[in-house]
Amino acid sequence: MKIATSLLSAAALLLAASHPSAAQTSPEASQQIAELKAKVIELTDRVALLEAKTAQISSAASQTSAGTPGPHSKTAPQDAADLFLSGFLSATKAARQAANQETEEAIENYEQASATLATLTTQFPDWQPAIVAYRQKKVAAALKVLRP
């Protein structure tokens, strides 16, 4: 089982065991639960990025040893990890640009990230769907804020 899936499952079990009923929690506890869920999703997203990078390195190593084109070759097909990494990096670049008031560039990079993640969900619907959906929501929210 993938590390990210295990992490998310463990966090869900922890939350369920700690807080069996939302009706029994105070507003402060509910806020803490929401913050914990957000942190778990963010950590899971980071683990998925590491898995994507690891898969990319492994793929490059096996292709190089087999004498086939590497992952950055124009003839090499993209796999799910490559697509996620590309989308993640575009979104990260866009976030930096937005922070620096480079709105047009940020919108372009967020749109690129959105398109890449959409391709990922179409071509590889079973690859880390919760993490991809989370990243898509973050990109969509950022675009909503930046677009006039």
pLDDT at 14: 58
Nearest Cα to Cα of residue 52 among 139, 132, 136: 132
Q: What is the mean pLDDT of residues 127-133?
A: 91
pLDDT at 9: 60
More confident residue, 122 or 25: 122
Q: What is the mean pLDDT of residues 117-125?
A: 94
- Any idea what DSSP says for residue 23? G
User: How many independent structural domains does the chain possess?
Assistant: 1
40 inside domain: no
Least confidently predicted of 18-32, 48-62, 94-108, 110-124? 18-32
CA separation for the pair 14, 3 (Å, rounded): 16
The segment with the largest mean pLDDT, out of 8-12, 16-20, 58-62, 105-109, is 105-109
Can you give the residue range of the structural domain that contains 73?
45-146
- Any idea what DSSP says for residue 77? P
142 inside domain: yes
87 inside domain: yes
pLDDT at 57: 72
100 inside domain: yes
Per-residue tokens: 125: 């619907």
114 inside domain: yes
121 inside domain: yes
30 inside domain: no
10 inside domain: no
- Sorted by sequence, the CB contacts under 8 Å of residue 136 that are 6+ apart come out as 114, 117, 118, 121
